[in-house]
Amino acid sequence: MRWILPLAVIALLLVYPFVVNSFWLVQIGGRTLGFGTIVLSLVFLTAYTGMLSLAQMSVAGVAGYATAYFTAPTSGVGLLLPWPLALILALGLATVAGLLIGLVAVRTRGIYTLMITLAVAMAFYFLTLQNYDLFNGYTGFNNVQPPVILGLDLGANLPFYYMSVVLAAACYFGVRHVVRTPFGLALQGLRDEPDRLRALGYNVPLLRVLAFGLAGFIAGIGGILNIWLNASISPGSVALNPVIDVLMAGVLGGIGHPIGAYIGAFVFTVVDNFAIDFIARERFNTLIGLIFLAIVLFSPDGLTGLVHRAWTRGTGWARRNDGDARETDDIGK
């Protein structure tokens, strides 16, 4: 019974391109998977280590800028490298950025971690805005395209979608695997009882830094998918609004479970694209705020929690009905 929902999701992802138009395929499906992977890095930190970071979009931006710098030089800014080396460097830099943020935030907890990571995110935004040697200032980079491998253009709609599915699934199942390893169990112990974990001989600050590094790697994958989708990156890509969007999507989907990252990203993407048909663009943040407030009030564990409770009640109701039917049959006999 527990395999029904995962199998249904896999089937939906596979047939999705054949039942939607190109807009829904790329701008909804592709964007959800890339953005959701960035949100997944936040969910991993929050759900399994108890640390809330607002710098995940900045880390994704590091990977995006590095990809652009090494594959699409513009205005004399950049260094053209073979795409495999460029991607390795981009993910490596994102991981290092995560580790450095972890070093800064490692001894803070709660609201202080939130504030210091927000400060880091804003510092990175202003750096990209003012630096022209590495980030090309306000203009940023344009015409950043995915590679062509053995004649297959990964920038085409269908290949890009399936590539996003594979990478998003790898990140999701990778997180699910990591949290079951000794390292993942230690992180959960760190979340619940850091003093007890310290008494057992674990290096608590090191565990937190490593968690930020792994989250940085995941965010880097999302950042690369994002820049390939948009074909450009600029300081606006790592400004305050995108930084907060990651948190909003995480809370909408459910910050306590990895799948919530993609559910929240999907809802946020749909609302972002279609809300303008019903309300003025400047009222979008108001709409998102109201949805956010409703989720917090009526389902603190997000849409994932809502679905889980509905599923539990439905299966419980089915079991009770089955039990009643058997009992009736026994009486009849």
Q: Which of 38, 53, 35 is nearest to 211 (CA)?
A: 53
Task: Name the pTM for this structure.
Answer: 0.90
Q: What is the largest CA-CA distance in the chain?
A: 87
244-284 confidence digits (pLDDT tens): 999 999 988 988 889 999 999 999 999 888 877 777 667 77
Residue 164 pLDDT class (50, 70, 90 cuts): very high
**Rounded Cα gap, residues 333 and 329, in angstroms:** 6
One-letter amino acid at 216 equals: G
Is residue 326's pLDDT more than 70?
A: no
Share above pLDDT 90 across residues of the chain, in percent, rounded to a whole number: 62
Instruction: Please say whether the beta carbons of 185 and 193 come within 8 A.
Output: no
Beta strand pairing call for 232-233 and 152-153: unpaired
Centre a 10 Å sphere on the Cβ of residue 279 and count the other Cβ atoms it contains.
Answer: 11
Share above pLDDT 70 across residues of the chain, in percent, rounded to a whole number: 92
Q: What is the mean pLDDT of residues 111-137?
A: 93
Q: What pLDDT score was predicted for residue 316? A: 61
Instruction: Please say whether the beta carbons of 194 and 35 come within 8 A.
Output: no
One-letter amino acid at 99 equals: L
Q: What pLDDT score was predicted for residue 11? A: 87
**Rounded Cα gap, residues 296 and 288, in angstroms:** 12
Angle of helix 182-192 versus helix 204-230 axis, rounded to 10: 110
